[in-house]
Structure 1
Amino acid sequence: MAFPFSIIERIFKRSGVEAGGGGRRWEGAASLATPQQQTLAARGASKARASALYTNTAQGHRIVEAWSVSLVGKGWQVRPQHPDTATRRALSDAFEAMTRPLMMTMARAIVRDGEAFVQLVVAEDGTLCPKLLAADQIDPSLTRDLGNGARIVAGIEFDAADQVVAYHVLREAPGTPFQTYAAPIRVPASDMLHMFDKLFPGQVRGLSWLAPVLLKLRDRDEASDALLMQLKVASLITGFIRDTDGTAAGFLAENTTLNVALEPGAMRILPTGAEVSFSQPGQGLAQAIEFLRAQDREIAAGAGLTFESLTGDLGEANYSSARVGMLEFRRRAEAMQLNLIEAQFLRPLWKRWTDIRALAGELPADRASLADYHAVRFVAPGWAWVDPQNEVAADVAAIEAGLKSREEVVAGRGRDIDELDEERARDAMRAATTEAAA
């Protein structure tokens, strides 16, 4: 029976934008009609699930740790631009000592919870004490209209011009011992730093970086446990005795001396009419393992990592593939370093810190002098070399060709060029002293 041409035409003909079409293939597909509201609604559940997977699963833990180390590494270097060398060194040492204890925990919160909050608390002696807060301490349940265009959304207060003016902070993080149920405290925006990667315009709170892979991570962990149980069962070889004559094959109640237990090297004689077969519970494990590797690749892609970074499996990697994958990851990590760590944390914290020290009389308060203290550069942590010999040779060639400066190359290694030059000067002086003594 031939199909009518109209039916065939409807099946194969495509027109318009398929992404906006309908039909059976789109039934049940998820959609984000209002991403600002939907991401805000999903924030709490995804944060809690990401925290559980970070704590309980190897891959969830690996994703958070790999990204955290990439964002802050062994620490950021601060390069004040003050004209006096001693002042630069004192400012750098003091600021790094203040921020270093916060950095790793803050980076974990950004990746795992999707956001991090640092409250800028001024102690009685005038010292700035940054305090890292739990994400849920910014009251996510507080949403109301304040009139005249002002409003509070998930604990963050906006004015009529859509500028953040305050944060409503609970006295204790939910779930802490001796938690007191009191109204949140209104903290001015100048006293709070909020770090998160904004996915959509108008997004108010951050979404866990594990959100694209949370469900797959859970299923992957359960599948791994199921395979492990299958392997354990496979080690328990089970035998089945069949009777071809339809009788008890000699296994009667009075036959108590018959021994059919399995032992290494044992040979057993069965009664007439009995045959033995064994279960094979380990079949298909090789295919399952390869399927899990495919799942690992999807998880790595969703988490923004390479397969090797996620799993530690370097069996299929070579120099070229490892370098290409690492370079792509570094580009995204450097963008996150610049937009999250430097722009949303270090720079506003530096300005606030110098202003408070000026108010306390520790720094000059006049505008011209304070401008020298506000000027600063930040050096992100460097990256480990994939091939040190070739990469150093390439950097030397780029410097000689005028395509790079020494400062750019040194900064790319996570070093301060002033410190490097001082170390080289000391090495040269030591070598000259040794040569003169000889």
Structure 2
Amino acid sequence: MWPFNKLQIEPVVLPQEIPKPKAVQARKYQPTSTEFKTQTRSLTGLPTKIIGSHGTGVQNVNINAVLRQSLTSLRDASRSLVLQNPYARRYVSLSSGTVAGADGITVRPSPIGLDGQTDPVLADRLDKLFYEWASDANRFSTDGSLSFDIFQQLVERARATDGECFVRLHTDGDELQVSIIDASRIPSTKNELLKNGSYISNGIERDQHGRVLAYHVADINPLNYTIQTNSTQRVPASEVLHYFIPEFPGQERGFPDCIAVMKTLEDFNSYNEAAVLQKKIASSAMAFITSTDNSQEELLDGETEQREYIEHFEPGSIKELQPGQQIQTLNPQAGTDKITEFSDAVLTTISTGLSLPKSMLTGDTQNASFSAAKMADRISREGFKTRSNLLISKVLKPIYREFIKRIMVSELKELSFTNFENIANSTFITVKQVSLDPNKDAQYEQVLLAMGVKSKSQIIRDLGMEPQHIFEELQREAEMEINKTETMNKDSSNEIQEPKTGDDVNE
């Protein structure tokens, strides 16, 4: 069998025919495009095959060129981290739970009447109609799987993972319905020049002034789930809500939140896996018996006993080595030296890249003082409040306004569109965070109220409640207390003025 089936004869080279060696010139090593470049770091510390050729620095390149080349790879890497890395998954869950909350951001209609004040009757009617529609998943979403609260959580999770989320408003049916478009279905590689100065950049069609005209959504195969980027559907911009956090002027798409810590998360996860593997090796004890007998017992027909080669061992196993065999062991204990200090430094880097206190990222408050925990709570609350406001302005408010348009046509026909802005006026109550010291927070609110820089309505909204309903309940309770007091006074006066009977007079 090859290579032993043929006799290979080396050609004879005469001495005078031996070529003279040429001077070897030192050449600078040029890494290929698929290799990791350690000399030039990319914007995220990722290989250039992920961030794209424009991602190795600023290089006077528009940020949309970086998006066109690297957005798909960045989105795939971020999704992989969110599914497998515990810290990335914790961050996305924390962002969704803090921005949207378990019950979602509350919408309170506040229509303004002719007198310039909130119309309470119309407000209650709009509130009832809105939540009858938004709480019913079959009416709210096209696939019947999302209600208003679950929808908000999924939108924020998609934005934190992919860097952006697309929501489509379906207005062709009897009533308004919404759906979430997968960001991968709007290909960032679709770039074309159209007529009249319009163009398609990163899958988004714009006019010559950069105003969004439409979104090109790729079709998806329902059998193998492949995205057909060559076959797209043009959806007008009036039907799509694009939710992302812009970081550069003119930025067209969003970057994943984990972009700055992708490499650190991956390396930290590899380090932990290596530490666990080292502990498994260290916990396995094996014994070996060596023999000094070098003789081999001859078998029949002059055969000798075949040696046993040991390649795999099990914990607690005892094996006898053959003569002349040795074992050299490797004990990698230095790999886990000072693992606590190392992990703490890496987690600090990760939490900094995610703009989040480390205690919030890990959920570990073992060594945190009360003041440090309160400061971390303040920092995280302000950061997530910014995202809540963006979610309201980009997604929730347009959905509510579109609902009001449809309801004014179908049910509230007596309302006029000339007064639409006053009718569609509303208040969005964000998630109320759990306070670490509610007594001091209440005293602080009371001081602001006494100073006249904050109203009772603002305090009530910050608590996640509707001021109008609270005032009405307080008024009803005050009236009940007055009626109860009057009833008690009337009963007591009747007892005093009750006439005496004849027996009582004789006594």
Quick check: TM above 0.5?
Answer: yes
Q: Where do residues 234-249 of structure 1 align in structure 2 (5 Å cutoff)?
A: 234-237=282-285
Q: Where do residues 192-231 of structure 1 align in structure 2 (5 Å cutoff)?
A: 192-231=240-279
Q: Residue 185 of structure 2 contacts residue 229 of structure 2 at CA under 8 Å; is this kept in 1? A: no
Higher relative contact order (CA 8 A, sep 6+): 1
Q: Pick from 53, 58, 74: which aligns with 1:32?
A: 58
Change (3 A) 1:309 1:153: same
Q: Residue 77 of structure 1 contacts residue 378 of structure 1 at CA under 8 Å; is this kept in 2? A: yes
Indicate the SS of the match to 2:257: coil
Change (3 A) 1:355 1:296: same
Q: Residue 81 of structure 2 contacts residue 89 of structure 2 at CA under 8 Å; is this kept in 1? A: yes
Q: 1:146 aligns to what?
A: 194
* Greater Rg by CA: 2
Change (3 A) 1:427 1:284: farther
Q: Pick from 84, 92, 96: which aligns with 2:127?
A: 92
* Greater alpha carbon shift after TM alignment, 42-51 vs 30-39: 30-39
Q: Where do residues 108-127 of structure 1 align in structure 2 (5 Å cutoff)?
A: 108-125=157-174, 127=175
Distance in 1, matches of 2:260 and 2:107, equals 34
Distance in 2, matches of 1:84 and 1:176, equals 53
Q: Pick from 384, 387, 401: which aligns with 1:333?
A: 384
Q: 2:108 aligns to what?
A: 79
Q: Residue 430 of structure 2 contacts residue 464 of structure 2 at CA under 8 Å; is this kept in 1? A: yes
Indicate the SS of the match to 2:194: strand
Q: 2:450 aligns to what?
A: 400
Q: 2:73 aligns to what?
A: 45
Q: 2:216 aligns to what?
A: 168
Q: Where do residues 372-387 of structure 1 align in structure 2 (5 Å cutoff)?
A: 372-387=422-437
Q: CA deviation at 1:429?
A: 6.3
Q: CA deviation at 1:249?
A: 7.9
Structure 2 letter corresponding to 1:71: V
Q: 2:156 aligns to what?
A: 107
How many residues are aligned here? 387
Q: CA deviation at 1:148?
A: 3.2
Structure 2 letter corresponding to 1:84: D
Q: Pick from 76, 79, 82: which aligns with 1:54?
A: 82
Q: CA deviation at 1:149?
A: 2.1
Structure 1 letter corresponding to 2:187: D
Structure 1 letter corresponding to 2:181: L
Change (3 A) 1:282 1:251: farther
Indicate the SS of the match to 1:92: helix
Q: CA deviation at 1:353?
A: 2.0
Q: For residues 295-342 of structure 1, give each alpha carbon's deviation from its aligned partner in whole angstroms, at most 9, with x where no partner exists.
A: 11111111121111111111221111111122122222112221x211
Indicate the SS of the match to 1:186: strand
Structure 1 letter corresponding to 2:149: R
Distance in 2, matches of 1:253 and 1:88, equals 99
Q: Residue 68 of structure 2 contacts residue 189 of structure 2 at CA under 8 Å; is this kept in 1? A: no
Structure 2 letter corresponding to 1:77: T
Change (3 A) 1:301 1:124: same
Change (3 A) 1:365 1:305: same
Q: 2:340 aligns to what?
A: 289
Change (3 A) 1:240 1:428: farther
Q: 1:418 aligns to what?
A: 468
Structure 2 letter corresponding to 1:342: I
Q: Residue 308 of structure 1 contacts residue 314 of structure 1 at CA under 8 Å; is this kept in 2? A: yes
Residue ranges of structure 1 left out of the alignment (5+ in a row): 1-25, 242-246, 255-261, 264-276
* Greater alpha carbon shift after TM alignment, 101-110 vs 424-433: 424-433
Change (3 A) 1:301 1:188: same
Q: Residue 78 of structure 1 contacts residue 379 of structure 1 at CA under 8 Å; is this kept in 2? A: yes
Indicate the SS of the match to 2:193: strand
Q: CA deviation at 1:60?
A: 1.1
The answer to whether residue 352 in structure 2 is matched with residue 301 in structure 1 is: yes
Change (3 A) 1:50 1:123: same
Q: Residue 221 of structure 2 contacts residue 228 of structure 2 at CA under 8 Å; is this kept in 1? A: no
Indicate the SS of the match to 1:356: helix
Distance in 2, matches of 1:406 and 1:130, equals 35
Q: Percent sequence identity over matched residues?
A: 25
Q: For residues 127-146 of structure 1, give each alpha carbon's deviation from its aligned partner in whole angstroms, at most 9, with x where no partner exists.
A: 01011111112233321001
Q: For residues 399-418 of structure 1, give each alpha carbon's deviation from its aligned partner in whole angstroms, at most 9, with x where no partner exists.
A: 12323222222222222222
Q: CA deviation at 1:91?
A: 2.2
Change (3 A) 1:139 1:362: farther
Distance in 2, matches of 1:70 and 1:173, equals 35
Q: 1:358 aligns to what?
A: 408
Q: Where do residues 254-269 of structure 1 align in structure 2 (5 Å cutoff)?
A: none
The answer to whether residue 459 in structure 2 is matched with residue 409 in structure 1 is: yes
Q: CA deviation at 1:106?
A: 0.5
Q: 2:4 aligns to what?
A: none
Q: CA deviation at 1:36?
A: 2.5
* Greater alpha carbon shift after TM alignment, 206-215 vs 139-148: 139-148
Residue ranges of structure 2 left out of the alignment (5+ in a row): 1-37, 43-56, 112-117, 135-139, 141-147, 298-314, 317-327, 492-507
Structure 2 letter corresponding to 1:406: K
The answer to whether residue 218 in structure 2 is matched with residue 183 in structure 1 is: no
Change (3 A) 1:248 1:27: closer
TM-score if structure 2 supplies the norm length? 0.69
What is the CA RMSD across the aligned residues, in angstroms? 3.3
